A = this chain, B = another copy of it.
Amino acid sequence: MKKEPQQNLHLIFNPKTVAVIGASENPAKLGSHVMKSLLQDDGFRGRIVPVNPNGGEIMGISSVSSVTEIKGSVDLAIVVVPAGAVPGVFQECGKKGVGGIVLITAGFKEIDDPAGAELQSRLAEIAMAEGMPVIGPNTFGIVNRTIDLNASFTPEFSHVERGGVSIVSQSGGISHLLAFMAMKEHVGISKIIGLGNRLNIDFAEILPYLVEDPDTQVIILYLEGLDDPRKLMDAARNTGGKKPILAMKAGSAESGNRASLSHTGSVAGRQEVYKAAMIQSGILPMESTEALMDIARALSLCPLPGGPRMAVLTGQAGPGMVACDTCERYGLQIASFQESTQAAINNLLPPLAIRTNPVDMGPAWYDSAAIKGIMRAAAEDENTDGILLLMMFASANRGAVSYLSDFLLDWRQKKPVVTCLVSPAGIWDDEVLRLERAGALVNLPTPERAAKVMASLWQYKHKTWR
Protein backbone atom coordinates (compact mmCIF):
# COMPACT_ATOMS: atom_id res chain seq x y z
CA MET A 1 0.00 0.00 0.00
CA LYS A 2 1.20 3.51 -0.89
CA LYS A 3 2.12 6.07 1.77
CA GLU A 4 0.03 9.16 2.48
CA PRO A 5 1.51 11.96 0.32
CA GLN A 6 2.46 14.13 3.30
CA GLN A 7 4.80 11.44 4.61
CA ASN A 8 7.17 12.35 1.80
CA LEU A 9 7.30 16.07 2.61
CA HIS A 10 10.67 15.83 4.32
CA LEU A 11 12.09 14.37 1.11
CA ILE A 12 10.94 17.16 -1.18
CA PHE A 13 12.24 19.87 1.19
CA ASN A 14 15.56 18.03 1.63
CA PRO A 15 16.16 16.30 -1.72
CA LYS A 16 19.42 14.81 -2.94
CA THR A 17 18.35 14.76 -6.60
CA VAL A 18 16.07 17.35 -8.22
CA ALA A 19 14.65 16.93 -11.73
CA VAL A 20 13.43 20.04 -13.59
CA ILE A 21 10.80 18.84 -16.04
CA GLY A 22 10.46 21.60 -18.59
CA ALA A 23 13.95 23.03 -17.98
CA SER A 24 14.90 25.63 -20.58
CA GLU A 25 17.52 28.18 -21.51
CA ASN A 26 14.94 30.53 -23.02
CA PRO A 27 14.55 33.47 -20.57
CA ALA A 28 10.91 33.87 -21.66
CA LYS A 29 10.12 30.45 -20.14
CA LEU A 30 9.66 29.81 -16.43
CA GLY A 31 11.79 26.69 -16.89
CA SER A 32 14.82 28.94 -17.31
CA HIS A 33 14.06 30.90 -14.13
CA VAL A 34 13.71 27.64 -12.19
CA MET A 35 17.11 26.46 -13.45
CA LYS A 36 18.60 29.84 -12.50
CA SER A 37 17.10 29.60 -9.02
CA LEU A 38 18.61 26.17 -8.44
CA LEU A 39 22.01 27.39 -9.63
CA GLN A 40 21.85 30.86 -7.99
CA ASP A 41 24.97 31.85 -6.00
CA ASP A 42 26.66 28.71 -4.76
CA GLY A 43 23.48 26.87 -5.64
CA PHE A 44 21.83 23.69 -4.50
CA ARG A 45 24.43 21.20 -3.32
CA GLY A 46 22.63 18.05 -4.55
CA ARG A 47 22.23 16.75 -8.12
CA ILE A 48 20.19 18.77 -10.62
CA VAL A 49 18.87 17.02 -13.75
CA PRO A 50 17.16 19.10 -16.46
CA VAL A 51 14.47 17.20 -18.34
CA ASN A 52 13.61 18.38 -21.86
CA PRO A 53 12.63 16.29 -24.90
CA ASN A 54 15.03 18.35 -27.05
CA GLY A 55 17.98 17.05 -25.07
CA GLY A 56 21.39 18.74 -25.01
CA GLU A 57 22.91 20.86 -22.24
CA ILE A 58 20.84 23.36 -20.28
CA MET A 59 22.85 25.94 -18.37
CA GLY A 60 25.84 23.68 -18.60
CA ILE A 61 24.11 20.53 -17.36
CA SER A 62 23.29 17.55 -19.62
CA SER A 63 19.56 17.02 -19.90
CA VAL A 64 17.56 13.83 -20.35
CA SER A 65 14.38 13.55 -22.40
CA SER A 66 12.24 11.98 -19.66
CA VAL A 67 12.37 11.69 -15.88
CA THR A 68 12.33 7.90 -16.29
CA GLU A 69 15.78 8.06 -17.87
CA ILE A 70 17.42 9.47 -14.75
CA LYS A 71 19.70 6.98 -13.01
CA GLY A 72 19.22 6.62 -9.25
CA SER A 73 16.34 8.00 -7.25
CA VAL A 74 14.67 11.38 -7.80
CA ASP A 75 13.46 13.02 -4.58
CA LEU A 76 11.86 16.11 -6.08
CA ALA A 77 10.53 16.84 -9.58
CA ILE A 78 9.82 20.47 -10.40
CA VAL A 79 7.27 20.55 -13.23
CA VAL A 80 6.98 23.59 -15.56
CA VAL A 81 5.52 22.05 -18.75
CA PRO A 82 2.22 23.34 -20.25
CA ALA A 83 -0.93 22.22 -18.42
CA GLY A 84 -1.98 19.71 -21.08
CA ALA A 85 1.31 17.84 -20.79
CA VAL A 86 1.21 17.55 -17.00
CA PRO A 87 -0.84 14.30 -16.72
CA GLY A 88 1.71 12.47 -18.87
CA VAL A 89 4.55 13.89 -16.79
CA PHE A 90 2.79 12.81 -13.59
CA GLN A 91 2.46 9.26 -14.89
CA GLU A 92 6.17 9.17 -15.70
CA CYS A 93 6.97 10.57 -12.27
CA GLY A 94 4.84 7.82 -10.73
CA LYS A 95 6.59 5.18 -12.80
CA LYS A 96 9.98 6.57 -11.75
CA GLY A 97 8.83 6.68 -8.13
CA VAL A 98 9.85 10.31 -7.53
CA GLY A 99 9.54 11.46 -3.93
CA GLY A 100 7.24 14.36 -4.71
CA ILE A 101 6.40 17.16 -7.11
CA VAL A 102 6.41 20.95 -7.16
CA LEU A 103 3.93 21.80 -9.92
CA ILE A 104 4.52 25.39 -11.04
CA THR A 105 2.30 25.20 -14.14
CA ALA A 106 -0.98 27.17 -13.93
CA GLY A 107 -4.27 26.68 -15.78
CA PHE A 108 -6.12 24.26 -13.49
CA LYS A 109 -8.79 24.78 -10.83
CA GLU A 110 -8.13 28.54 -10.66
CA ILE A 111 -9.40 29.26 -14.20
CA ASP A 112 -13.02 29.87 -15.17
CA ASP A 113 -13.06 26.95 -17.57
CA PRO A 114 -14.35 23.71 -15.89
CA ALA A 115 -11.76 21.81 -17.93
CA GLY A 116 -9.14 23.26 -15.55
CA ALA A 117 -10.78 21.71 -12.51
CA GLU A 118 -11.21 18.38 -14.34
CA LEU A 119 -7.55 18.30 -15.28
CA GLN A 120 -6.63 19.02 -11.66
CA SER A 121 -8.82 16.11 -10.46
CA ARG A 122 -7.09 13.78 -12.87
CA LEU A 123 -3.71 14.87 -11.53
CA ALA A 124 -4.92 14.35 -7.99
CA GLU A 125 -5.90 10.77 -8.81
CA ILE A 126 -2.50 9.95 -10.31
CA ALA A 127 -0.64 11.61 -7.42
CA MET A 128 -2.75 9.87 -4.76
CA ALA A 129 -2.38 6.48 -6.45
CA GLU A 130 1.37 6.92 -6.35
CA GLY A 131 1.48 8.52 -2.89
CA MET A 132 3.26 11.58 -4.31
CA PRO A 133 2.92 14.90 -2.45
CA VAL A 134 2.30 17.76 -4.87
CA ILE A 135 2.95 21.42 -3.97
CA GLY A 136 0.79 23.41 -6.40
CA PRO A 137 -0.31 23.61 -9.16
CA ASN A 138 -0.22 27.35 -9.88
CA THR A 139 2.64 28.09 -7.49
CA PHE A 140 6.02 29.86 -7.67
CA GLY A 141 7.48 26.82 -5.90
CA ILE A 142 9.25 26.14 -2.62
CA VAL A 143 12.42 27.37 -0.98
CA ASN A 144 14.41 25.78 1.84
CA ARG A 145 17.04 28.33 2.83
CA THR A 146 18.43 25.94 5.45
CA ILE A 147 19.91 23.74 2.69
CA ASP A 148 20.10 26.37 -0.11
CA LEU A 149 17.29 24.77 -2.10
CA ASN A 150 15.54 27.34 -4.29
CA ALA A 151 12.94 25.32 -6.21
CA SER A 152 11.03 28.38 -7.43
CA PHE A 153 10.87 30.67 -10.42
CA THR A 154 12.39 33.55 -8.39
CA PRO A 155 16.21 33.32 -8.18
CA GLU A 156 16.28 36.30 -5.76
CA PHE A 157 14.79 34.10 -3.01
CA SER A 158 18.32 32.70 -2.63
CA HIS A 159 19.33 36.05 -1.09
CA VAL A 160 16.90 35.81 1.81
CA GLU A 161 18.78 35.33 5.09
CA ARG A 162 18.72 31.93 6.79
CA GLY A 163 16.78 31.62 10.02
CA GLY A 164 13.83 30.07 11.79
CA VAL A 165 10.74 31.63 10.19
CA SER A 166 8.81 29.52 7.66
CA ILE A 167 6.19 31.07 5.38
CA VAL A 168 3.27 29.14 3.88
CA SER A 169 1.06 31.08 1.54
CA GLN A 170 -1.89 30.65 -0.74
CA SER A 171 -0.70 33.67 -2.74
CA GLY A 172 2.55 33.86 -4.64
CA GLY A 173 2.36 37.64 -4.53
CA ILE A 174 2.18 37.70 -0.74
CA SER A 175 5.03 35.16 -0.50
CA HIS A 176 7.16 37.44 -2.63
CA LEU A 177 6.16 40.48 -0.55
CA LEU A 178 6.99 38.74 2.74
CA ALA A 179 10.28 37.38 1.39
CA PHE A 180 11.36 40.81 0.14
CA MET A 181 10.32 42.34 3.49
CA ALA A 182 12.45 39.67 5.18
CA MET A 183 15.41 40.64 3.00
CA LYS A 184 15.02 44.30 3.84
CA GLU A 185 14.48 43.78 7.56
CA HIS A 186 16.99 40.92 7.92
CA VAL A 187 14.43 38.35 9.03
CA GLY A 188 15.93 34.87 8.92
CA ILE A 189 13.85 32.42 6.91
CA SER A 190 13.85 28.63 6.72
CA LYS A 191 11.10 27.76 4.22
CA ILE A 192 8.96 29.69 1.74
CA ILE A 193 6.12 27.56 0.44
CA GLY A 194 3.58 28.54 -2.19
CA LEU A 195 0.63 26.16 -1.83
CA GLY A 196 -1.11 27.35 -5.01
CA ASN A 197 -4.21 25.27 -5.80
CA ARG A 198 -3.34 22.65 -3.16
CA LEU A 199 -3.69 19.45 -5.16
CA ASN A 200 -3.04 17.19 -2.17
CA ILE A 201 -0.93 19.33 0.16
CA ASP A 202 -3.00 21.96 1.91
CA PHE A 203 -2.38 23.99 5.09
CA ALA A 204 -3.59 21.06 7.18
CA GLU A 205 -0.92 18.78 5.68
CA ILE A 206 1.99 21.24 5.70
CA LEU A 207 1.41 22.45 9.26
CA PRO A 208 2.28 19.18 11.10
CA TYR A 209 5.38 18.85 8.92
CA LEU A 210 6.63 22.34 9.85
CA VAL A 211 5.80 21.87 13.52
CA GLU A 212 8.10 18.81 13.55
CA ASP A 213 10.72 20.43 11.25
CA PRO A 214 13.77 21.21 13.45
CA ASP A 215 14.75 24.14 11.22
CA THR A 216 11.43 25.96 11.69
CA GLN A 217 10.81 27.95 14.87
CA VAL A 218 7.88 30.15 13.85
CA ILE A 219 5.22 29.45 11.20
CA ILE A 220 3.52 32.13 9.12
CA LEU A 221 0.32 31.27 7.23
CA TYR A 222 -1.28 33.54 4.65
CA LEU A 223 -4.82 32.37 3.87
CA GLU A 224 -7.46 33.53 1.44
CA GLY A 225 -10.13 30.86 1.56
CA LEU A 226 -10.22 27.21 2.57
CA ASP A 227 -12.50 24.42 1.39
CA ASP A 228 -12.37 22.86 4.82
CA PRO A 229 -11.26 25.35 7.47
CA ARG A 230 -11.98 22.85 10.26
CA LYS A 231 -9.21 20.59 8.95
CA LEU A 232 -6.63 23.36 9.40
CA MET A 233 -7.98 24.29 12.83
CA ASP A 234 -7.82 20.64 13.95
CA ALA A 235 -4.30 20.32 12.60
CA ALA A 236 -3.26 23.46 14.50
CA ARG A 237 -4.90 22.26 17.72
CA ASN A 238 -3.14 18.90 17.40
CA THR A 239 0.27 20.59 17.40
CA GLY A 240 -0.36 21.41 21.05
CA GLY A 241 1.13 24.89 20.87
CA LYS A 242 4.59 23.47 20.22
CA LYS A 243 5.54 26.41 17.98
CA PRO A 244 3.97 29.81 17.35
CA ILE A 245 1.66 29.80 14.32
CA LEU A 246 0.77 33.27 12.98
CA ALA A 247 -1.91 33.65 10.35
CA MET A 248 -3.22 36.42 8.21
CA LYS A 249 -6.55 35.88 6.51
CA ALA A 250 -7.36 38.12 3.54
CA GLY A 251 -10.69 38.46 1.84
CA SER A 252 -12.88 40.46 4.18
CA ALA A 253 -13.85 42.77 1.32
CA GLU A 254 -16.62 41.87 -1.09
CA SER A 255 -14.45 42.67 -4.03
CA GLY A 256 -11.58 40.66 -2.59
CA ASN A 257 -13.92 37.73 -2.28
CA ARG A 258 -14.61 37.83 -5.99
CA ALA A 259 -10.87 37.88 -6.59
CA SER A 260 -10.30 34.94 -4.28
CA LEU A 261 -12.79 32.76 -6.08
CA SER A 262 -11.00 33.17 -9.35
CA HIS A 263 -7.52 33.34 -7.83
CA THR A 264 -7.07 30.01 -6.15
CA GLY A 265 -10.53 28.60 -6.58
CA SER A 266 -11.94 29.14 -3.09
CA VAL A 267 -14.34 31.56 -1.50
CA ALA A 268 -12.93 33.60 1.36
CA GLY A 269 -15.10 32.98 4.40
CA ARG A 270 -16.39 35.27 7.10
CA GLN A 271 -13.52 37.10 8.74
CA GLU A 272 -14.80 37.11 12.32
CA VAL A 273 -15.61 33.41 12.31
CA TYR A 274 -12.14 32.65 11.05
CA LYS A 275 -10.56 34.83 13.70
CA ALA A 276 -12.41 33.19 16.57
CA ALA A 277 -11.68 29.72 15.22
CA MET A 278 -8.00 30.55 14.86
CA ILE A 279 -7.68 31.79 18.43
CA GLN A 280 -9.45 28.66 19.72
CA SER A 281 -7.04 26.48 17.74
CA GLY A 282 -3.95 28.28 19.01
CA ILE A 283 -3.30 30.20 15.79
CA LEU A 284 -2.46 33.88 16.31
CA PRO A 285 -4.50 36.02 13.90
CA MET A 286 -2.53 38.96 12.49
CA GLU A 287 -3.98 42.15 11.07
CA SER A 288 -1.30 43.14 8.57
CA THR A 289 1.68 41.87 6.62
CA GLU A 290 3.83 44.28 8.61
CA ALA A 291 2.72 42.89 11.98
CA LEU A 292 3.13 39.37 10.62
CA MET A 293 6.82 39.93 9.86
CA ASP A 294 7.55 42.02 12.98
CA ILE A 295 6.08 39.48 15.34
CA ALA A 296 7.44 36.41 13.54
CA ARG A 297 10.93 37.90 13.71
CA ALA A 298 10.59 38.67 17.41
CA LEU A 299 9.24 35.19 18.20
CA SER A 300 12.17 33.62 16.33
CA LEU A 301 14.79 35.68 18.20
CA CYS A 302 13.48 36.60 21.64
CA PRO A 303 12.74 34.83 24.88
CA LEU A 304 9.14 35.38 26.04
CA PRO A 305 8.42 37.77 28.90
CA GLY A 306 7.36 36.09 32.13
CA GLY A 307 4.82 38.84 32.77
CA PRO A 308 3.53 42.16 31.44
CA ARG A 309 5.74 44.55 33.48
CA MET A 310 8.07 46.54 31.25
CA ALA A 311 11.10 48.72 31.91
CA VAL A 312 11.10 51.55 29.36
CA LEU A 313 14.58 53.02 28.92
CA THR A 314 14.84 55.91 26.52
CA GLY A 315 17.47 58.23 25.18
CA GLN A 316 14.88 60.98 24.77
CA ALA A 317 11.57 61.46 26.56
CA GLY A 318 9.25 61.62 23.49
CA PRO A 319 9.84 58.13 22.06
CA GLY A 320 9.52 56.71 25.59
CA MET A 321 6.15 58.39 25.97
CA VAL A 322 4.94 57.01 22.64
CA ALA A 323 6.14 53.52 23.63
CA CYS A 324 4.32 53.74 26.98
CA ASP A 325 1.10 54.79 25.21
CA THR A 326 1.37 51.73 22.97
CA CYS A 327 2.28 49.38 25.85
CA GLU A 328 -0.81 50.30 27.80
CA ARG A 329 -3.04 50.16 24.73
CA TYR A 330 -1.99 46.52 24.18
CA GLY A 331 -2.11 45.30 27.76
CA LEU A 332 1.43 45.80 29.03
CA GLN A 333 2.26 47.56 32.28
CA ILE A 334 5.03 50.04 33.05
CA ALA A 335 6.92 48.35 35.91
CA SER A 336 7.41 49.92 39.33
CA PHE A 337 11.10 49.40 40.07
CA GLN A 338 12.30 47.77 43.27
CA GLU A 339 13.74 50.25 45.74
CA SER A 340 17.28 49.04 45.14
CA THR A 341 16.89 49.52 41.38
CA GLN A 342 15.55 53.02 41.81
CA ALA A 343 18.41 53.84 44.18
CA ALA A 344 20.95 52.55 41.67
CA ILE A 345 19.42 54.64 38.87
CA ASN A 346 19.22 57.69 41.13
CA ASN A 347 22.95 57.31 41.68
CA LEU A 348 23.64 57.25 37.96
CA LEU A 349 21.45 60.11 36.74
CA PRO A 350 21.44 63.73 37.88
CA PRO A 351 18.63 64.69 40.31
CA LEU A 352 16.75 66.77 37.74
CA ALA A 353 16.43 63.93 35.17
CA ILE A 354 13.39 61.67 34.79
CA ARG A 355 14.69 58.72 36.79
CA THR A 356 11.56 56.68 37.46
CA ASN A 357 10.19 54.32 34.81
CA PRO A 358 10.15 55.36 31.90
CA VAL A 359 13.78 56.37 32.49
CA ASP A 360 15.20 59.18 30.37
CA MET A 361 18.87 58.25 29.97
CA GLY A 362 19.59 61.42 27.99
CA PRO A 363 21.71 63.06 30.70
CA ALA A 364 23.97 59.94 30.80
CA TRP A 365 24.66 59.87 27.04
CA TYR A 366 28.34 60.66 27.47
CA ASP A 367 28.79 58.19 30.31
CA SER A 368 29.09 54.57 29.24
CA ALA A 369 29.20 53.27 32.81
CA ALA A 370 25.99 55.09 33.69
CA ILE A 371 24.08 53.85 30.63
CA LYS A 372 25.22 50.30 31.25
CA GLY A 373 24.45 50.58 34.97
CA ILE A 374 20.89 51.81 34.34
CA MET A 375 20.28 49.04 31.82
CA ARG A 376 21.64 46.37 34.16
CA ALA A 377 19.63 47.62 37.16
CA ALA A 378 16.39 47.67 35.15
CA ALA A 379 17.04 44.28 33.53
CA GLU A 380 17.92 42.52 36.80
CA ASP A 381 14.99 44.02 38.70
CA GLU A 382 12.57 41.28 39.80
CA ASN A 383 9.67 43.61 39.04
CA THR A 384 10.49 43.80 35.32
CA ASP A 385 9.58 41.15 32.72
CA GLY A 386 11.07 42.81 29.66
CA ILE A 387 13.02 45.85 28.48
CA LEU A 388 12.01 48.36 25.85
CA LEU A 389 15.04 50.41 24.86
CA LEU A 390 14.50 53.44 22.62
CA MET A 391 17.21 55.77 21.37
CA MET A 392 17.34 58.17 18.49
CA PHE A 393 20.83 58.97 17.30
CA ALA A 394 22.33 62.39 18.01
CA SER A 395 25.95 63.48 17.85
CA ALA A 396 26.24 63.27 21.62
CA ASN A 397 25.08 59.64 21.88
CA ARG A 398 26.97 58.20 18.91
CA GLY A 399 28.68 55.67 21.19
CA ALA A 400 25.58 54.61 23.12
CA VAL A 401 24.89 51.34 21.28
CA SER A 402 28.48 50.16 21.65
CA TYR A 403 28.48 51.14 25.33
CA LEU A 404 25.61 48.71 25.81
CA SER A 405 26.65 45.86 23.58
CA ASP A 406 28.70 43.85 26.09
CA PHE A 407 25.88 43.94 28.58
CA LEU A 408 23.30 43.04 25.93
CA LEU A 409 25.36 40.06 24.77
CA ASP A 410 25.81 38.82 28.36
CA TRP A 411 22.17 39.31 29.10
CA ARG A 412 20.77 37.73 25.95
CA GLN A 413 17.84 35.35 26.22
CA LYS A 414 17.25 36.18 29.90
CA LYS A 415 14.41 38.63 29.43
CA PRO A 416 13.23 40.02 26.09
CA VAL A 417 14.94 43.23 24.95
CA VAL A 418 12.95 44.95 22.21
CA THR A 419 14.52 48.12 20.88
CA CYS A 420 13.91 51.10 18.65
CA LEU A 421 17.44 52.27 17.89
CA VAL A 422 17.25 54.62 14.93
CA SER A 423 20.05 56.47 13.19
CA PRO A 424 20.79 57.69 9.69
CA ALA A 425 22.05 54.83 7.50
CA GLY A 426 25.59 53.71 8.25
CA ILE A 427 25.85 54.79 11.89
CA TRP A 428 24.24 52.22 14.19
CA ASP A 429 22.83 49.72 11.65
CA ASP A 430 25.67 47.21 11.55
CA GLU A 431 26.10 47.13 15.30
CA VAL A 432 22.37 46.74 15.92
CA LEU A 433 22.14 43.99 13.31
CA ARG A 434 25.08 42.14 14.87
CA LEU A 435 23.35 42.30 18.27
CA GLU A 436 20.09 41.10 16.73
CA ARG A 437 21.80 38.19 15.00
CA ALA A 438 23.45 37.27 18.27
CA GLY A 439 20.01 37.07 19.89
CA ALA A 440 20.65 40.06 22.15
CA LEU A 441 17.73 42.21 20.97
CA VAL A 442 15.04 42.69 18.34
CA ASN A 443 15.07 46.13 16.72
CA LEU A 444 12.00 47.83 15.23
CA PRO A 445 11.83 51.06 13.24
CA THR A 446 9.31 52.95 15.41
CA PRO A 447 8.50 53.06 19.15
CA GLU A 448 4.95 51.90 18.41
CA ARG A 449 6.08 48.82 16.49
CA ALA A 450 8.61 47.98 19.22
CA ALA A 451 6.00 48.19 21.97
CA LYS A 452 3.44 46.28 19.93
CA VAL A 453 5.93 43.46 19.31
CA MET A 454 6.64 43.25 23.05
CA ALA A 455 2.89 43.15 23.74
CA SER A 456 2.50 40.32 21.23
CA LEU A 457 5.27 38.30 22.89
CA TRP A 458 3.40 38.64 26.18
CA GLN A 459 0.01 37.84 24.64
CA TYR A 460 1.48 34.71 23.07
CA LYS A 461 3.08 33.63 26.34
CA HIS A 462 -0.02 34.43 28.38
CA LYS A 463 -2.45 32.99 25.81
CA THR A 464 -4.43 36.23 25.83
CA TRP A 465 -4.42 36.81 22.11
CA ARG A 466 -7.12 39.18 20.91
Contacts and interface: CB of A to CB of B under 8 A. Distances in A.
Given A352-B113, A447-B289, A449-B290, A327 B395 contact: no
A147 interface: no
B180 A321 contact: no
A252 B327 CA distance: 10
Contact of A393 (B116, B176, B320): B176
B173 A319 contact: yes
A183 B424 contact: yes
A173 B448 CA distance: 14
Chain A, interface size category, equals: 35 or more
A159 interface: yes
Interface stretch (A43-51, A122-130, A253-261, A340-348): A253-261
A448 to B, nearest CB: 5
A310 B174 CA distance: 21
A324 B250 CA distance: 9
A253 B176 contact: no
Interface string A255-284: 111111011100010000000000000000
Interface string A167-193: 001111110110011011000000000
Contacts of A159: 424
A180 B314 CA distance: 17
A331 to B, nearest CB: 12
* Number of copies of this chain that the complex holds: 2
A319 B393 CA distance: 35
Contact of A351 (B28, B112, B316): B112
A392 B173 contact: yes
A33 interface: yes
A325 interface: yes
B111 A352 contact: yes
Nearest to A157: B424
A252 B156 contact: no
A423 interface: yes
Contact of A357 (B36, B112, B255, B327): B255
Given A253-B328, A254-B328, A263-B360, A448 B289 contact: yes
Given A177-B319, A256-B320, A322-B174, A33 B445 contact: no
Given A172-B316, A177-B392, A222-B318, 11 more contacts: A112-B352, A113-B352, A116-B352, A154-B395, A156-B427, A171-B319, A176-B422, A177-B422, A253-B325, A256-B358, A289-B322
Interface of A: 28, 30, 33, 36, 107, 111-113, 116, 140, 153-156, 159, 169-174, 176-177, 180-181, 183-184, 222, 224, 250-260, 262-264, 268, 288-290, 312, 314-325, 327-329, 334, 351-352, 354, 356-358, 360, 366, 390, 392-396, 422-425, 427, 445-449
